[in-house]
Amino acid sequence: MAIQWFPGHMNKARNEIKEIMPQMDVIIEVLDARIPYSSENPMVGQLRGDKPVIKIMNKADLADPELTKQWMEYFERENGVKALAFGHDKANEVQRINALCKKLAPHKVGQDKQLKAMIMGIPNVGKSTLINTLAGRIVAKTGNEPAVTKAQQRIKLEDGIMLYDTPGMLWPKVENENSGYRLAATGAIRDTAINYEEVASYTAEYLLGAYPELLKARYKLDELPDCDWTFIEMAGRKRGCVKGGNQVDTHKMSEILINELRDAVIGQITMETPEMRESEEEMVAELRAQAEAKKAAREDEKRQRRARARKNRR
């Protein structure tokens, strides 16, 4: 699945982040706890150097608690990385972020000193709500649609912390096809840019393997099929998604499945595990190597053609 949605302001944001990241003391990356790997921004790893990073597992109340714990332990194996989990039920604990920033950059704590922290995250991850809670006032627009924040802004917090907010940003090319589907399923991409039936098919296949009991309970099915598309048709009939000729309206059922996943009415679900990340990273590296080898072969062929043409002209 190729992601085509990449508004112009995101390209500007990428350039601004590259420019100011070296000036920051701490990087705060807000992740979707349901897709901790797919919601990571590759720029953080590429540009942070040895700067400390706080990984915020947001929307943790929608995610599988056991997998959230595994992901936090996984992230903290990396030097200089700390992880925190937040959901709507733990909004009052958000101030722990300030304390952790000061702990990670003690040289910037004290009178007449200012700690600079950059906060970043993909669209619709809940970053603006988090910022408003940290600031204790409405300073960032919020909404259920991706890409509400479109410009960088600085927010002065208590305790001598200056927070640099950045627009919610995807990257021009999501190399891992699985991540593209997960980003679409959880709402990081505008619905107008996704094919509901493709995304629902991918989601159903994963849920049949990872959360079969939740599917049975939610869609009142005694037995589950092996095939994702058969499940969508069975669930569609249960939900009355039937059109002319007694055919299941698979588009309508696909919308229901995706919206119920996003709202956690199916249950607390996480769409990926640390083990999945490891194997998919290997897959992406292999695909990248293959693409580079093909490109090198094409360039070599061009050089040979030019050499033959020059020889023939003599």
Are residue 20 and residue 146 in the same domain, yes or no?
A: yes
Residue 2 has pLDDT above 50, yes or no: no
- Does a structural domain hold residue 57? yes
CATH classification at residue 121: 3.40.50.300
Domain limits for position 12: 8-165
Are residue 106 and residue 207 in the same domain, yes or no?
A: no
Residue 29 has pLDDT above 90, yes or no: yes
| pLDDT tens figures, 36-64 | 999 998 778 888 888 999 999 999 999 99
- For residue 290, what pLDDT is reported? 82
Are residue 126 and residue 218 in the same domain, yes or no?
A: no
| pLDDT tens figures, 180-205 | 899 999 998 877 777 899 999 999 99
Stronger pLDDT, 287 or 213, i.e. the higher one? 213
Which residues fall in the annotated binding site for GTP? 58-61, 124-129, 168
- For residue 173, what pLDDT is reported? 61
CATH classification at residue 226: 1.10.1580.10
Are residue 109 and residue 26 in the same domain, yes or no?
A: yes
Which residues fall in the annotated binding site? 58-61, 124-129, 168
Are residue 206 and residue 137 in the same domain, yes or no?
A: no
Are residue 229 and residue 126 in the same domain, yes or no?
A: no
- Does a structural domain hold residue 3? no
Are residue 217 and residue 88 in the same domain, yes or no?
A: no
The whole-model pTM stands at: 0.84
| Domains held by the chain: number | 2
Q: How confident is the model at residue 220 (pLDDT cuts 50, 70, 90)?
A: very high
- Does a structural domain hold residue 179? no
| pLDDT tens figures, 258-279 | 999 999 999 999 999 999 999 9
Backbone CA torsion sign across 32, 38, 44, 45 = positive
CB 265 within 8 A of CB 61: no
- Does a structural domain hold residue 31? yes
